[in-house]
């Protein structure tokens, strides 16, 4: 009798609201894109953040207020990045494929806030997990992160 009661209740609830429970369930199971990055976003503090995990998961592998010509142990590991730099002058983070601000690049504008999955972005040369340096700039970007 219990199985029948539970089944009947589920059928009744499903008939009343299929769209809302299905969407909620799917988002909870797969995790909404950017959900963790959203939770780590805070007030602008002048820093750029990079994580080894997608969607800003884990602890940052690098946090920098200024330029960095070599990410050292964080080289070739970034899978998500965040721009909490100040708006105005030098507010764009330009990420480079090689150390010393060389090689291909891509930029993260302050309005973008973060890129939660670098593998779905294009650099002018290079791809996900291949950042070795960054620089705060006003422009000059041939590719941008989303």
CA angle 133, 65, 112 (to 5 degrees): 80
pLDDT tens string for the chain (146 positions)?
333 333 343 344 334 343 333 333 333 334 577 899 999 999 999 999 999 999 999 999 999 999 999 999 999 999 999 999 999 999 999 999 999 999 899 999 999 999 999 988 877 875 557 899 999 999 989 989 87
* CB-CB contact of 50 with 131 (8 Å): yes
Farthest CA pair distance, the chain: 71
Of 92, 98, 106, give the one whose Cα is nearest residue 70: 98
Residue 5's H or E segment, with its range, is: helix 2-17
CA angle 110, 116, 119 (to 5 degrees): 115
User: What is the pTM for the complete model shown?
Assistant: 0.76
Q: How many CB atoms lie within 10 A of CB 10?
A: 10
> What DSSP assignment string belongs to 19-45?
HHHHHHHHHHHH--TTHHHHHH--S--
Which pLDDT value is given to residue 31?
A: 56
> What DSSP assignment string belongs to 61-91?
EEEESS-BS--GGGTT--SEEEEEPPSSTT-
Which pLDDT value is given to residue 120?
A: 82
Which pLDDT value is given to residue 122?
A: 77
Sequence-distant (6+) residues with CB within 8 A of 39 are none
């Amino acid at each position: 009798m219990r199985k029948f009661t539970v089944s009947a209740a589920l059928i009744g609830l499903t008939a009343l609201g299929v769209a809302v429970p299905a969407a909620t369930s799917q988002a909870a199971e797969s995790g909404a894109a950017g959900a963790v990055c959203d939770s780590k976003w805070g007030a602008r503090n002048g820093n750029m953040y990079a994580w080894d995990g997608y969607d800003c998961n884990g602890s940052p592998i690098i946090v920098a207020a200024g330029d960095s010509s070599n990410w050292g142990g964080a080289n070739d590991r970034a899978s998500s990045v965040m721009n909490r730099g100040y708006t105005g002058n030098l507010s764009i983070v330009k990420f480079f494929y090689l150390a010393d601000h060389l090689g291909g690049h891509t930029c993260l504008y302050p309005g973008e806030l973060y890129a939660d999955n670098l593998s779905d972005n294009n650099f002018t040369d290079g791809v996900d997990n291949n950042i070795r340096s960054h620089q705060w700039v006003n422009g000059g970007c041939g590719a941008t992160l989303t």
